[in-house]
Structure 1
């Protein structure tokens, strides 16, 4: 884990309608090659495009040997993660450890 951790708060819709915008935010944050915490407390909607962005961010962080942590999940995020059984993939510390990549 790197000494410096950057935090990025995502809010509103994490959907296909904002995919391009969110993708650019994540690319910029991951380009710093620091550990990254994504605060999801303000996410009001999450669709498959949003889930794909989060999965791609995790993969990019791992390729850069940086940690990606999702924190402060909104009820919407918790519901989608439960439905899609994604807690293990993202290693939610409140639920289960991450699945090794």
Structure 2
């Protein structure tokens, strides 16, 4: 684990099917560092199900490797996609607890 706390990764702009491939590579690099991650989403804008699926995959990958990936500062647009997909409980479980 990372004794200094998790590494923070911030997403900005849209997180849709059009951006997922590039974001996946950025997450792959961050996860390869072998540290816990905190992903801040407050600067992200438009979301769709592909963006939410990417988050789910990243959280599962980190967990499978014995690390954590926690979501923070979740914008309403992401929450709405999760609600429509029936994934509100998952999003809450993956979110930073204040």
TM class, shorter-length: 0.7 to 0.9
Aligned match of 2:47 = 46
Aligned match of 2:75 = 74
Tell me if structure 2 keeps the 8 A contact 1:46–1:76: yes
Aligned match of 1:55 = 56
Point out the more displaced range, 65-74 or 76-85.
Answer: 76-85
What value does the CA root-mean-square deviation take over the aligned residues? Answer: 1.6
Aligned match of 2:34 = 33
Aligned match of 1:97 = none
Distance 1:53 1:78 in 2: 14
Aligned match of 1:11 = 12
- Structure 1 residue 93: deviation in Å? 4.6
Tell me if structure 1 keeps the 8 A contact 2:49–2:81: no
- Structure 1 residue 77: deviation in Å? 1.4
Tell me if structure 2 keeps the 8 A contact 1:5–1:35: yes
**Paired residue secondary structure (1:16):** coil
After TM superposition, the score normalised by the length of structure 2 is 0.85
Q: Which runs of 5+ in 2 are unaligned?
A: none
Q: Which runs of 5+ in 1 are unaligned?
A: 95-101
